[in-house]
A = this chain, B = another copy of it.
Amino acid sequence: MSDRTKFILDESEMPTAWYNIVPDLPAPPPPPLHPGTGQPVGPEDLAPLFPQALIMQEVSGERYIDIPGEVLDVYRLWRPSPLFRARRLERALDTPAKIYYKYEGVSPVGSHKPNTAVPQAFYNAAEGVTKLTTETGAGQCYDQKPYRKFMMETYGAVVHPSPSDLTQSGRAVLAEHPDSTGSLGIAISEAVEMAAGDPDARYALGSVLNHVLMHQTIIGEEALKQFELAEDTPDVIVGCTGGGSNFGGLVFPFLREKLAGKIAPTIRAVEPAACPSFTRGTYAYDFGDTAGLTPLLKMHTLGHGFIPDPIHAGGLRYHGMSPLLSHIFELGLLDAVAISQSECFAAGVRFARSEGILPAPEPTHALAECVREALRCKESGEEKVILTALCGHAHLDLPAYASYLAGEMVDRELTDAEVEQALKALPVTT
């Protein structure tokens, strides 16, 4: 096994249940609150946005939820995804560390997102929903990076640039900032507003909520099996965090094993210096979207009015953080670091030139921390085992690499005054 590059599971070995970490935590996460009453939201409050099956998953106390056979059939189009040992990167860094990466870019769209998009579409369809709305990083760069839009249109989707004049939320942003670069928070407001106003429509989201992170746990469950094949155990697990779904998906099964005392990895979230909700935000109740249409979520946030600089990692440009991950952070079960965009792209180019794969802008954040850790090992001589979440490739984000290579990428440090100003917009809760 010692000179193996990929650890592959047969599709018969694919996990058949998602893992819900909530019942295994030492304390339950604070509930979402209704902004009007200040009371925990009930299933009926969420019904205009989500099908019943997903609402039940969102609040479930079960440790495992069976993946429907129809979803497993679709997962088999690309899953199980490979775990790689990055031997060439190790040599390039001249490190004694062993680097592994779990690669989600093998899905047809090139990222981890269909792990949850498919079951969300399935449960909605099963309850008669005929239309789904969602936000996407692509909406933020409708003109500069049109390829993702073309891909969605090929599948039959309709894509609108955000902020748009199709919704009250979008029009309000445009009235105040006609040149707004948009954000995931604004796009969420628009998608939620459209779903709430259409009885045939519901809202699908790409991250943040419990059920989304739970769907992504198939990543970590596979990785655990693959580490058994590799006869190895990670000492450090790094992943990028925007809303937290790829990171939570990889780390929750490992955290289960850690909470059970079986392993003891350091678990580290990496966020962009331009949007550092964990490292510079506050832990408070806030809206999940810019317009304030969602329930209040207790999370690490920069304030729902915060519009991050238009960095290339569009998927990480979110003012908040998954409430579940925020809670786990507060419990001291993970740490976090923020890294600037150009250090991330430097790691991405280094990775592409050694391992072949061009990482998406988002996971270059994980790779940058992985490189830091591997170089610390070179310094100290430690032979740590590092597991990196590589949640997608850059085929639809190649202009970002062109910009980096042309020396046009600018890192701007967020000032304390900016953070303070953004946090003033936090809603008052009891």
Task: Give A residues with C-beta under 8 Å from B.
Answer: 4-6, 8, 10-11, 73-74, 76-78, 84, 88, 106-110, 114, 146-147, 150-151, 153-156, 349, 352-353, 355-358, 393, 395-396, 398-399, 401-402, 405
Contacts and interface: CB of A to CB of B under 8 A. Distances in A.
Contacts of A84: 77
A204 B6 CA distance: 28
Contact of A405 (B108, B154, B405): B154
21 contacts: A4-B11, A5-B11, A5-B73, A6-B76, A6-B77, A8-B10, A77-B84, A77-B88, A78-B356, A106-B106, A108-B355, A108-B356, A114-B356, A147-B395, A147-B399, A150-B401, A151-B358, A154-B353, A154-B398, A155-B353, A396-B398
Contacts of A106: 106
A405 B353 CA distance: 35
Given A353-B155, A395-B395, A150 B402 contact: yes
A405 B5 contact: no
A60 to B, nearest CB: 28
Contact of A8 (B8, B156, B395): B8
B5 A398 contact: no
A151 B398 contact: yes
A352 B155 contact: yes
Given A150-B398, A405-B154, A5 B108 contact: no
A77 B5 contact: yes
Nearest to A345: B154
A147 to B, nearest CB: 4
Contacts of A114: 356
Contacts of A401: 150-151, 153-154
Nearest to A86: B77
A84 to B, nearest CB: 8
Contacts of A151: 358, 395, 398, 401
Nearest to A357: B108
A76 B352 CA distance: 15
A153 B11 contact: no
A393 B396 CA distance: 12
Contacts of A156: 353
A88 B118 CA distance: 15
Given A5-B77, A74-B356, 11 more contacts: A5-B11, A78-B356, A107-B356, A108-B356, A114-B356, A147-B399, A151-B401, A153-B401, A153-B405, A155-B353, A156-B353
A8 B81 CA distance: 12
A395 B110 contact: yes
A137 to B, nearest CB: 16
Which of A74, A107, A156, A395 is packed against the most chain B CB atoms within 10 Å? A395
Nearest to A109: B356
A142 to B, nearest CB: 13
Which of A5, A10, A106, A114 is packed against the most chain B CB atoms within 10 Å? A5
Contacts of A109: 356
Given A147-B147, A395-B396, A398-B147, A154 B358 contact: yes
Nearest to A403: B150
